[in-house]
């Protein structure tokens, strides 16, 4: 991906990985527009990064998506990069009762929302040079964390959708990228202080270096063992991973 001279829209840019990517890309001379549901978070990021812009967006609401997409095309006609980063992660009970609100919110935010957002902007992006649609998935798309099974499932589904979309856009101007983070110190699952998680700044620095290459999957070194897992040994790897995770998260 070209790292300078873009006009970039990032969902979930008010905190965590989304904010980290927004600031790193802003510092490289891109025009960056972030979105989220919490205006106070957006205002804080914009205040800390003069020249960055923000728009409120409810990624679970199709009307909000269509409204924001139309606004972006009108206000930023040079928009050529969409980074679908917004997501939520909550513990659940795959071995018991799954709370329906948790299920619907997670699937809508993590899977349906990015599909809708891309759908609303794709015809515009097809007309732009150096166009990119990127999705923040997770290594849990490849190795599910059993104590957050719905989240893991949405990321696996998102990975599948990326593969299909990349194929369908193979003869267009649009590149489709997948950013699959390992465990990173963010607010997800209260991981900001987790020693085992990758520091956010380290993740962003390494991700930006990989993002600037011609790869379709953006993986930091710590994510590669998880990405390499699917295959004949998958079940043993997943079971071993979750046996260790139970000690950290319970379940």
User: How wide is the angle at C-alpha 14 spanned by C-alphas 12 and 20, nearest 5°?
Assistant: 90
What lies within 8 Å, CB to CB, of 207 at 6+ separation is 21, 179, 181, 218, 220
Q: Which residues pair with 132 in a beta bridge?
A: 81, 175
List Cα–Cα distances, 10 to 37, 110, 151, 209, in angstroms. Answer: 13, 14, 20, 18
Q: Are residues 137 and 178 in contact, defined by beta-carbon separation less than 8 angstroms?
A: yes
Residue of 76, 135, 151, 161 marked catalytic: 151
What lies within 8 Å, CB to CB, of 105 at 6+ separation is 60, 88
Q: Is 151 a catalytic residue?
A: yes
Listing DSSP states for 119-141 in one string gives: HHHHHHHTTSTTEEEEEE--GGG
Q: Which residues are catalytic?
A: 151
């Amino acid at each position: 991906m070209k790292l300078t001279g873009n006009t970039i829209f990032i969902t979930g840019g008010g905190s965590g990985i989304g904010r980290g990517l927004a600031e790193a890309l802003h510092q490289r001379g891109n025009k960056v527009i972030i979105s989220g549901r919490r205006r106070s978070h957006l205002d804080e990021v914009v205040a800390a990064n003069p020249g960055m812009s923000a728009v409120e967006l409810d990624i679970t609401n199709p009307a909000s998506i269509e409204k924001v997409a139309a606004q972006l095309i009108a206000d930023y006609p040079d928009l050529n990069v969409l980074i679908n980063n917004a997501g939520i992660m909550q513990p659940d009970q795959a071995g018991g009762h799954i709370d329906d609100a948790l299920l619907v919110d997670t699937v809508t935010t993590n899977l349906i929302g990015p599909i809708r957002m891309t759908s609303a902007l794709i015809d515009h992006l097809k007309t732009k040079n150096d166009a990119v649609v990127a999705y923040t998935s997770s290594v849990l798309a490849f190795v599910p964390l059993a104590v957050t099974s719905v989240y893991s499932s949405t990321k696996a589904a998102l990975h599948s959708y990326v593969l299909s979309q990349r194929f369908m856009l193979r003869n267009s101007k649009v590149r489709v990228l997948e950013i699959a983070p390992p465990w990173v110190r963010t607010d997800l699952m209260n991981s900001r202080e987790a020693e085992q998680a990758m520091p956010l700044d380290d993740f962003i620095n390494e991700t930006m270096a990989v993002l600037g290459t011609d790869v379709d999957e953006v993986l930091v070194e710590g994510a590669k063992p998880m990405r390499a897992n699917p295959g004949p040994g998958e079940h043993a790897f997943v079971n071993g991973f979750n046996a260790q995770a139970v000690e950290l998260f319970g379940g």
